[in-house]
Structure 1
Amino acid sequence: MKLAHVYLEYQKLSLNHTFTYDCQDLPVERGMRVKVPFGNRLSVGFVDHVEEVERYEGRYQLKAVYEVLDEKPLINEELFALAKQMSYHYVAPMISCFQAMLPSKIKPRSHKDKVVFETWIEYVMHKRNPTKRQLEVLDEMKVLQSISKREFLMLYKSVGTRLIKEGCFRELLCEKEALLQGERLDVKKKLSAAQEKAFAEIKAAKQDVVLLHGMTGSGKTELYLQLAQEVVEAGETVLVLVPEIALTPQMVKRVTMRFGADVAIYHSGLSPQQKYEQYQLVAKGRVHIVVGTRSAVFMPFAKLGLIVMDEEHDNSYKQDQSPRYHCRDVALWRGRYHHCKVLLGSATPSLESYARAYKQVYGLVSLKERINKQMPKIDLVDMKGSMRKGAHHLIAPALKEAIEQCVMRKEQVILLLNRRGHTPILRCGECGEVLHCPHCDSAMAYHKQKQVLKCHICDTTTAVPTACPNCHATQSFEYIGYGTQRMEEALLSLLPGIRVLRMDRDTTTQKDAHERLLEQFENQEYDILLGTQMIAKGLDFENVTLVGILNADAGLARSDYACVEETFDLLYQACGRSGRGAKAGRVMMQVFDTEHYAVRCAMLQDYEQFFYHEMRYRHLAGYPPYRYLSSVVLHHAQSDVAREESERLLAQFQGRKDILFLGVSELGKRMDRFRFRILMKSKDQDRMIQLLHEMYAYHASAKMRTKIELDSETVGS
Structure 2
Amino acid sequence: MTSDVSPSQPLSLFPPARRVKVLLPLPLDSAYDYAVPEGMDVGPGSFVTVPLGGRQIVGIVWDDEPDPDGVPESKLRPVAGVVPVPPLPEASRRFVDRMAAYTLAPPGQVLRMAMSSPKALEPASERTVYTAADPAPKDLRWTSARRRVYALAQEDPPRSAADLAREAGVSSGVVRGLADAGGLLPMRLPDSIFFETPDPDHPRAALSDAQQNIAEEMSRAVLAGGFSVTLLDGVTGSGKTEVYFEAVAAALGAGKKVLVLLPEIALSAQWLERFEERFGTLPAEWHSDLSPGTRRRTWKAVAEGRVQILVGARSALHLPFPDLGLIVVDEEHDGSYKQEEGVIYHARDMAVLRAQISDCPIILASATPSLESLANVEAQRYRLAHLPERHGEAELPQVSLVDLRKTPPPRQRWIAPPLQDALEETLAKGEQALLFLNRRGYAPLTLCRTCGHRIECPDCDAWLVEHRFGRRLECHHCGFSMKTPEKCPSCGDEGSLVACGPGVERLFEEAVAILPEARIEVVTSDTLQGPLAAAAFVDRVTSGEVNLIIGTQIVAKGYHFPLLTLVGVVDADLGLAGGDLRASERTFQLLSQVAGRAGRAGHKGRVLLQTANPNATVLRAIADGDRDGFYAAEADMRRDLGWPPYGKLAAIIVSGEDEGHVERTAGDLARSAPRLDNVRVLGPAAPPLALLRGRHRRRLLLKADRTISIQRVLSDWMSRIKPPSSVRVQIDIDPYSFM
Q: TM-score, with normalisation over the residues of structure 2?
A: 0.83
TM alignment of 1:247-646, pairs within 5 A: 247-261=267-281, 263-371=283-391, 372-387=393-408, 390=410, 393-509=413-529, 512-646=532-666
Structure-2 separation of matches of 1:186 and 1:587: 37
Q: Say which of 126, 138, 146 aligns to 1:117.
A: 126
**C-alpha displacement at 1:200, in angstroms?**
4.7
Query: Do the aligned partners of 1:436 and 1:442 also contact (CA within 8 Å) in 2?
Result: yes
Q: Does 1:653 align with 2:669?
A: no
**C-alpha displacement at 1:237, in angstroms?**
2.2
**C-alpha displacement at 1:278, in angstroms?**
2.8
Structure-2 separation of matches of 1:313 and 1:443: 29
Q: Say which of 75, 99, 104 aligns to 2:112.
A: 99
- Identity within the alignment, %: 32
Structure-2 separation of matches of 1:557 and 1:53: 55
Letter in 2 for 1:687: S
**C-alpha displacement at 1:373, in angstroms?**
4.7
**C-alpha displacement at 1:87, in angstroms?**
0.7
Structure-1 separation of matches of 2:273 and 2:18: 51
Structure 1 residues 212 and 396, CA gap change in structure 2 (3 angstroms): same
Structure-2 separation of matches of 1:454 and 1:320: 21
Question: Deviation per CA, 1:376-402, whole angstroms, max 9, x where unpaired?
Answer: 121111123222x74663111221222
**C-alpha displacement at 1:182, in angstroms?**
8.3
**C-alpha displacement at 1:149, in angstroms?**
12
Structure-1 separation of matches of 2:339 and 2:198: 31
**C-alpha displacement at 1:426, in angstroms?**
0.5
The match for 2:696 is 674
SS of structure 2 residue aligned to 1:516: helix
Residue range with higher mean Cα deviation, 307-316 or 262-271: 262-271
**C-alpha displacement at 1:150, in angstroms?**
9.6
Letter in 2 for 1:41: R
Q: Say which of 44, 64, 86 aligns to 2:99.
A: 86
Structure-1 separation of matches of 2:402 and 2:461: 33
Structure-2 separation of matches of 1:373 and 1:148: 41
Residue range with higher mean Cα deviation, 305-314 or 346-355: 305-314
Query: Do the aligned partners of 1:422 and 1:485 also contact (CA within 8 Å) in 2?
Result: yes
Q: Does 1:41 align with 2:55?
A: yes
SS of structure 2 residue aligned to 1:698: coil
Query: Do the aligned partners of 2:674 and 2:713 also contact (CA within 8 Å) in 1?
Result: no
The match for 1:131 is none
Query: Do the aligned partners of 2:434 and 2:549 also contact (CA within 8 Å) in 1?
Result: yes
Structure-2 separation of matches of 1:184 and 1:684: 43
Q: Does 1:711 align with 2:717?
A: no
**C-alpha displacement at 1:418, in angstroms?**
0.5
Q: Which runs of 5+ in 2 are unaligned?
A: 1-16, 130-156, 162-186
Question: Deviation per CA, 1:129-182, whole angstroms, max 9, x where unpaired?
Answer: xxxxxxxxxxxxxxxxxx98999xxxxxxxxxxxxxxxxxxx997333145498
Residue range with higher mean Cα deviation, 182-191 or 392-401: 182-191
SS of structure 1 residue aligned to 2:415: coil
**C-alpha displacement at 1:194, in angstroms?**
2.3
Query: Do the aligned partners of 2:258 and 2:309 also contact (CA within 8 Å) in 1?
Result: yes
Query: Do the aligned partners of 1:4 and 1:47 also contact (CA within 8 Å) in 2?
Result: yes
Query: Do the aligned partners of 1:103 and 1:275 also contact (CA within 8 Å) in 2?
Result: no
Residue range with higher mean Cα deviation, 576-585 or 266-275: 266-275
Question: Deviation per CA, 1:564-613, whole angstroms, max 9, x where unpaired?
Answer: 11000001111110000021111111112111111111222322111112
Query: Do the aligned partners of 1:262 and 1:288 also contact (CA within 8 Å) in 2?
Result: no
SS of structure 1 residue aligned to 2:245: helix
Structure-1 separation of matches of 2:432 and 2:508: 16
SS of structure 1 residue aligned to 2:77: coil
Query: Do the aligned partners of 2:651 and 2:735 also contact (CA within 8 Å) in 1?
Result: no
**C-alpha displacement at 1:456, in angstroms?**
0.3
Q: Does 1:225 align with 2:251?
A: no
Structure-2 separation of matches of 1:318 and 1:443: 24
Query: Do the aligned partners of 1:30 and 1:73 also contact (CA within 8 Å) in 2?
Result: no
The match for 2:203 is 187
**C-alpha displacement at 1:504, in angstroms?**
0.8
Letter in 2 for 1:531: G
Query: Do the aligned partners of 2:400 and 2:607 also contact (CA within 8 Å) in 1?
Result: yes
Residue range with higher mean Cα deviation, 645-654 or 205-214: 205-214
**C-alpha displacement at 1:366, in angstroms?**
1.3
Structure 1 residues 183 and 619, CA gap change in structure 2 (3 angstroms): closer
Letter in 1 for 2:509: E
Query: Do the aligned partners of 2:236 and 2:367 also contact (CA within 8 Å) in 1?
Result: yes
Q: Say which of 69, 72, 77 aligns to 1:58.
A: 72
Query: Do the aligned partners of 1:630 and 1:712 also contact (CA within 8 Å) in 2?
Result: yes
Q: Does 1:699 align with 2:708?
A: no
Q: Does 1:17 align with 2:34?
A: no
**C-alpha displacement at 1:185, in angstroms?**
11
Q: Which runs of 5+ in 1 are unaligned?
A: 121-146, 152-170
Aligned residues: 660
Structure 1 residues 479 and 595, CA gap change in structure 2 (3 angstroms): same
**C-alpha displacement at 1:79, in angstroms?**
0.7
Letter in 1 for 2:215: F
Structure 1 residues 310 and 49, CA gap change in structure 2 (3 angstroms): closer
